[in-house]
Structure 1
Amino acid sequence: MRMDREQNRDEDAILDLESEPESSLAPTADLFQSLGYFEWNLRDHGKKKLVPPPEVMRKFSEQRNNPVFLECRIPKMTEDVARNALLSFVNSKCCYGNRAAGELVIQELKQQTLHRYRLETFNETRVSEWTFDPYTYGLVDGPQNGAPPQLWDIKVQVPKMFQEDTKKFRVPHSSLVKECHKCHGRGRYKCSGCHGAGRMRCVTCCGAKHRSKYQKRCQMCSGTGRKRCSTCSGRGNRTCMTCQGEKKLLHFIQLTVTWKNNVYEFISDDQLNFPKELLSTAIGDNIFKEENTLVHPLVSFPAPEMALASQRAVAEHKVAFTSTSRILQQRQTIELIPVTEVHYQYAGKMYLYYVYGMENKVYALDYPQRYCCGCTII
């Protein structure tokens, strides 16, 4: 009897927390006073975007390279090249006939080049926040091993320039072990399905022990009116999902480092009936390239709109990224994108298509030999 009473007291001690949401937030701030230096992390809901100190920014802006001007290599568009480009385009479409592409008569080729300016800013952003894992009785790298380092002093492996990535790290000497705030260190809580009984009313006979139509014993519950709880498998309690039954949590500050390539793009104006978004993916001929930690805006360039675009882009990226992150590298380029307007005649009517990019892509809005509209025109 004494053992039964002790078991009942233990079952009563299991908390009924099924209705409480799982929380990913750390406990209250008073549990982490021993961290000292990282007390500021507990403000702003335990999460803070870190701004690199000025000395870090100065260190990465000491060297500058000279910009490179390259020779233009855009070939002249010919009728054969324009026709072959259209044939390749038509053959890639399931509902385009190639007879028109083979029999059309080209009337005029209007070739021009557009300028595409790009500024790429590869920056690194660091965000710290409290998080936790179930504590499995391993070593704890806490404040007893020294003060946690400043987060911009933590050395991380930078990916290849202009390749985006995200990595997470545990801040050294920031770990603390506390009892689980979900189950209060019990590792389990009372099942909400059976309320800790382990058994629940049979849904087939509704607890009547027999089926009323035939007055036969219920086969699902063997005539008992109750059956084992399917939620907890008859245990009467469920393992705490927060601590995975370990009863304790290892709290630590997690550093999330994000590397992102931010692109500013400008394409010179034109009077063509041509969607400019297609030019963003077209291959151009690079005539100018400058890459450094911080690039200078162009001052004098043969195309004035490119100089203005460069000045605007450098200023916008400086405001957007230097105050919240660390700029690792910048690259600005100017490319020439060839666009040829092809006027042709077929079956007594005039039509138009465009050949653009160094790879001779085609945009044909009104191709005459289309059998359906099930495929795209770009």
Structure 2
Amino acid sequence: MWIAVLSLVSWVWMLLAQGFFWRTDVRLPRTGGEPERWPSVAVVVPARDEAEVLPLSLPSLLAQEYPGRAEVVLVDDGSTDGTGELARELGRRPGALPLRVVSPGEPPRGWTGKLWAMRHGIALARESAPEFLLLTDADIAHEPDSLRRLVAAADGAGLDMVSQMARLRVASAWERMVVPAFVYFFSQLYPFRRVNKAASRTAAAAGGCVLLRTHTAEAADIPDAIRQSVIDDVALSRAVKRVGGRIWLGLADHVDSIRPYPALRDLWRMISRSAYAQLRHNPLVLLGTVLGLALVYLVPPCALAAGLLAGDAMTALAGGLAWLVMAGTYLPMLRYYRQPWWLAPLLPVTAFLYLLMTVDSAVEHYRGRGAAWKGRTYAAPEAVETGEG
């Protein structure tokens, strides 16, 4: 009974005191006008073996209706599927923004592939002295006015970094079960309203869509300062806040991820590859996370069932109320993803899957296969530093 009560108290606290993480109304700031002079922008796109999604994502960038000067730099990160050649072909379409396709070669020790590609792309983009950098992934599609909206928000609100959580694909049954919960858990860990407060120490970003002032990137030594980071978007936001930059994070209406995750194994790989890195490769933090997930998400339905079977009204009531609050806080995210309400009571099942994925991430790390992505495996930062002496 007391465990069930503790779970209920945890949910009431999160409902009222965790930055209203469950609300989905944090969208691009509306400043009431547009810049008198549109700043120049360079779009940097790291891409590794993205030929499958590039025909849908890259044309959306090249077709941006932006009043100022803009160009796109796609960095082919050692692709073997013809990503670079396909990008050049797409860039030859009439009316497209200027496109440069480059390849930096394999990353040196101590760099992740994406950040090495980003470093090369940013260095090349700086040759034309852009005032803003749009860092976006190769699987992200932008509506024609996406760049215009991002720049207007950053300029009007005086922001140094604007990041939007792209709307992820929810087509398969497993995507419907897992994807909205992914964004829900992220916002629970990094409440957007706290992120967006200048005085708050909470920092986060969504790496698929980040607009960054060039001078802020230089002040924060981006990306060199975060070169070992597997979770590079959160590391980027922290680096920007450290130098006094104002950041903003919210949900997107005009930016979509088009990468499919049709099967559970695809989603499992996507989440487990970085879950243990999020826990700083610390076994004690892993243990606390597992116990916390069990208390918050698994105890409520178990307590309700146990209380009903044993005739323990208090245990059943505490468990049922906790489950009700949990489902209620999940409903706004389901509405944002246009999913049915009956998925809300199934959140404990999804949380249990995430618990297993997190444990699996730790197991793979200790087997030497942690943070593996597209043929590369990254060690923990401490291991890299030790290896370099």
- TM-score bin (small chain): under 0.3
Q: Indicate the structure with greater helix content.
A: 2
TM-score, with structure 2 as normaliser = 0.20
**Radius of gyration: which is bigger?**
1
Q: Indicate the structure with greater strand content.
A: 1
TM-score, with structure 1 as normaliser = 0.20
